Structure 1
Amino acid sequence: MNGNADLQYLQKRIQELEEKIEQLRLSRRVLMNLIEKIEKDKSTFVTRLEKENRKLHKDNYRYAQSLLKQNRRIVELQNRLEDILTEM
């Protein structure tokens, strides 16, 4: 009888372990899906930040060029004004 009880115990234990393995496989699939989603979201976010960074650099360059142009114009007008005042 002891052998039969041991066999039933071992069969039950095998079934429990197989169920745990299946649960672990399911958990692994869920985790892998989550990791894939996080990686995709991260990639999308990084792409968006890179695009925004390029736009900001371009805008900054345009602004610097505009300031430089305005400064040149101011210097030009100051020189004209000085020329006019010295001619008087």
Structure 2
Amino acid sequence: MNGSADIHYLQKRIQELEEKIEQLRLSRRVLMNLIEKIEKDKSGFVSRLEKENRKLHKDNYRYAQNLLQQNRRIVELQAKLETMLEDEAR
């Protein structure tokens, strides 16, 4: 009887361990799917940030060019004004 009880116990224990293995496999699949989704979301987010960064650089370049052009115009107008004032003073 003792040997039969040991066999029954071991068979039950094997079944419990197999169920735990199956649960671990399922948990692993769920975690892998979550990791895959997180990586995909992260990739999309990084892509959007890179696109926004390129747009900001482009806008910043245009703004800097516009400021430079306005500064040149101001210098030209100041030079003309000084020339006019010098001509009037003579």
TM-score by length of 2: 0.97
Residue in structure 2 matched with residue 55 of structure 1 by the alignment: 55
Q: Displacement of 1:83 after TM fit?
A: 0.6
Residue in structure 1 matched with residue 7 of structure 2 by the alignment: 7
Structure 1: segments with no counterpart, 5+ residues: none
Residue in structure 2 matched with residue 28 of structure 1 by the alignment: 28
Moved over 2 A (4+): none
Q: Displacement of 1:8 after TM fit?
A: 0.3
| SS of alignment partner, residue 10 of structure 1 | helix
TM-score by length of 1: 0.99
Structure 2: segments with no counterpart, 5+ residues: none
Letter in 2 for 1:64: A
Residue in structure 1 matched with residue 37 of structure 2 by the alignment: 37
User: 1:18, 1:49 → 2: CA distance?
Assistant: 46
**Matched residue pairs, number?**
88
Letter in 2 for 1:85: L
User: 2:85, 2:17 → 1: CA distance?
Assistant: 99
* Aligned residues: CA RMSD: 0.3
